[in-house]
Amino acid sequence: MTTIALSDWLLARISREDGAPLHRQLHEALLAAVLEGELPAGRKLPSSRLLARELGVARNTVIDVYETLAAQGCLETRHGSGTYVADLSAERLAPPSPSAPEAAPPAPKLSARGEAVVKGARVFPRQWGAFMPGVPDVTEFPTRIWARLHNRHWNRAAPERLSYAPAGGLPALRVALAEHLRTARGVRCEPGQIVITTGIHQSIDLTARLLTDPGDTVWLEDPCYWGLRHSVQSLGLKLRPVLVDAEGLNWSGTRGPAPRFIVATPSHQYPLGMVMTLPRRQALLEQARTHGSWIVEDDYDSEFRYGTRPITSLQGLDRDGLVIYVGSLSKTLFPGLRLGYIVAPPGLASAFAEGVAELYREGQLQQQAMLADFIAEGHFAAHIRRMRGLYSRRRQALLEAIRAEFGETLPVMGDNAGLHLILGLPGLEDKAIAQASVEAGIATRPLSGYYHSPGAAQSGLLLGYACVKEEAIAPAFATLAEVLRKFGA
Ligand SMILES: Cc1ncc(COP(=O)(O)O)c(C=O)c1O
């Protein structure tokens, strides 16, 4: 290409009406000329003065673009000689091995672990509305109080608050959470045992990374929350599903190597809703002690219990430092906050604090400071109290809607706590029904999808009532009832 041809080529790609700065347009046009082969490697470019005149732009614009392209490795400046197109050929950058066959580039391939994660993905595109399980009513969150705390902390944001978090998280939040957990959940802890995370997902991931090696065995409840099953599975651990009965986790028939850790939801089994009885809790602690296992107590939503007081934690019974207690603000405040905590046994506390800082490089100290004040000033306890009343009424409305549509023909389980209940569908295909109800605009999850052992799976639907306004419950359930009847309910 002559200089004239080059300037015509560039002028065709530059527009003064475009609104984009000229130097950016010229940069993009010249880069395209190099990448598309209009300017081959080794070709000398016109001087900046000449090109600027041809294009009718300032010389500095051309100099600027030449320099940027040289910094990107597209052009070379040879002293006293001029500016040349660099050799960008793949052969120069990475000579192919002589035996490499000429084949089409392989399709992008995930690892077996990646395939399993993506294949098992179950997150709904819309995490809200009837009857989305596991989601609190985020519209009731006291945003005015939060905004006040926001202003308080952002009006005087110390530089260290905008940097990475210290190991374990913000000390003030660790103090506030320790106090809250001692009184509300019967957890025996000091602030130094609290490790702030982005939620239970991360807490379990951290626990697994710090306490297991690939191939180690971990026990999970069957059924259990699929998100945690996928997290643990993706780390190359051997999962041993342990069935739950009316008293909670029942490992009596479980064989094989001792687990490195056992994950359980003793205060509110997820998703079935039973409470692990005291004898079973003591037996579980004894099992962990004799086999050298840890117990991970997932206490995701136990603040919401209707009729009786919340059940105190398993950690509170532990005298040997075997329980790793994990909790979350996802259900009590809002899931998008992405804050949770671990109460590590004293012997693990500093390793967990270092681990979280090392593996995830945590931050969010301003949010942590706001949350510390929110708890210390009593807003957290007040919000939980208020939501407990609200959810209790919504739960009642859902029970009444079920009775109005189906009388006593469909069993209801796990309805005395939490944010969802289970509508049993004995003999019916819950996966197909859940799919059809999503298509009818009602989000539910099939109970059988939470089981690891297909032979043990019960059929039912998880119906989350917490994020549905009371008056919307009966109409939404009427829509679901229509779907259920089509399937023979
Ligand atoms: C039993 C259980 N544990 C943990 C979580 C997730 O908690 P987080 O949002 O803190 O990661 C959920 C979410 O639904 C859950 O059901």
Instruction: Specify whether 171 is located in the same domain as 186.
Output: yes
**Do the beta carbons of residue 71 and residue 82 sit within 8 Å?**
no
Residue 99 placed within a domain: no
**107 contacts: CB under 8 Å, gap ≥ 6:** none
Residue 461 placed within a domain: yes
Domain assignment of residue 64, given as a range:
3-91
Find the 384 Cα to ligand 1 centroid distance in Å.
17
Residue 102 placed within a domain: no
Instruction: Specify whether 321 is located in the same domain as 391.
Output: no
Confidence (pLDDT) at 94 = 59
Instruction: Specify whether 351 is located in the same domain as 398.
Output: no
Which residue out of 138, 177, 200 has the highest number of ligand 1 atoms within 8 Å of its CB and is therefore the one to mutate?
Answer: 200
**Do the beta carbons of residue 424 and residue 415 sit within 8 Å?**
no
Peptide bond into 223 cis (omega under 30): yes
Confidence (pLDDT) at 97 = 59
Give the number of C-alpha atoms closer than 13 A to the C-alpha of residue 411, restricted to the C-beta side.
Answer: 11
Token digits for 122? 């179950």
Instruction: Specify whether 365 is located in the same domain as 391.
Output: no
Residue 67 placed within a domain: yes
Find the 296 Cα to ligand 1 centroid distance in Å.
13
Buried b (16+ CB within 10 A) or exposed e, 169-184: bbebbbbbbbebbeeb
Instruction: Specify whether 372 is located in the same domain as 389.
Output: no
Residue 110 placed within a domain: no
Instruction: Specify whether 65 is located in the same domain as 178.
Output: no
Instruction: Specify whether 167 is located in the same domain as 267.
Output: yes
Confidence (pLDDT) at 109 = 92
Among 320, 342, 377, the domain-final residue is 377
Find the 447 Cα to ligand 1 centroid distance in Å.
16
Instruction: Specify whether 317 is located in the same domain as 218.
Output: yes
Q: Pick from 6, 58, 64: which is nearest to 33 by CA? A: 6
CATH number of the domain bearing residue 27: 1.10.10.10
Atom of ligand 1 nearest to the CA of 340: 10
Number of domains in the chain: 3
**Do the beta carbons of residue 447 and residue 333 sit within 8 Å?**
no
Instruction: Specify whether 252 is located in the same domain as 192.
Output: yes
What angle do the packed helices 365-376 and 143-154 form, to 10 degrees?
A: 120
Residue 106 placed within a domain: no
Q: What angle do CA 369, 370, 372 make, to 5 degrees?
A: 65
Find the 145 Cα to ligand 1 centroid distance in Å.
25
- Which residue is associated with the tokens 């046994």? 345
**Do the beta carbons of residue 126 and residue 363 sit within 8 Å?**
no
Ligand 1 — pocket residues by CB below 6 A?
134, 199-201, 225, 227-228, 265, 270, 298, 300, 328, 330, 335, 340
Confidence (pLDDT) at 348 = 98
Instruction: Specify whether 401 is located in the same domain as 372.
Output: no
Give the number of C-alpha atoms closer than 13 A to the C-alpha of residue 42, restricted to the C-beta side.
Answer: 1
Find the 126 Cα to ligand 1 centroid distance in Å.
17
**365 contacts: CB under 8 Å, gap ≥ 6:** 160, 161, 162, 163, 165, 170
Each residue's pLDDT, cut to its tens digit, for the chain (489 residues) gives 777 788 888 888 888 887 888 889 999 998 999 888 889 999 999 999 999 999 999 999 999 999 989 988 989 998 889 999 998 877 666 555 556 556 777 778 999 888 888 888 878 888 889 999 999 999 999 999 999 999 999 998 999 999 999 999 999 999 999 999 999 999 999 999 999 999 999 999 999 999 999 999 999 999 999 899 989 989 999 999 999 999 999 999 898 999 999 999 999 999 999 999 999 999 999 999 999 999 999 999 999 999 888 889 999 999 999 999 999 999 999 999 999 999 999 999 999 999 999 999 999 999 999 999 999 999 999 999 999 999 999 999 999 999 999 999 999 999 999 999 999 999 999 999 999 999 999 999 999 999 999 899 999 999 999 999 999 999 999 999 999 999 999
Confidence (pLDDT) at 101 = 59
Residue 119 placed within a domain: no
Instruction: Specify whether 193 is located in the same domain as 333.
Output: yes
Beta bridge partners of residue 343, listed in sequence order: 194, 325
**Do the beta carbons of residue 314 and residue 320 sit within 8 Å?**
no
Which residue out of 122, 195, 330 has the highest number of ligand 1 atoms within 8 Å of its CB and is therefore the one to mutate?
Answer: 330
| Strands of the 445-446 sheet, one edge to the other | 412-413, 420-424, 460-464, 445-446
Among 318, 353, 377, the domain-final residue is 377
Which residue out of 201, 222, 302, 445 has the highest number of ligand 1 atoms within 8 Å of its CB and is therefore the one to mutate?
Answer: 201
Residue 109 placed within a domain: no
CA distance 271 to 461: 10
Among 26, 58, 91, the domain-final residue is 91
CA distance 123 to 230: 12
Instruction: Specify whether 371 is located in the same domain as 457.
Output: no
**Do the beta carbons of residue 326 and residue 204 sit within 8 Å?**
yes
CATH number of the domain bearing residue 183: 3.40.640.10
CA distance 400 to 405: 9
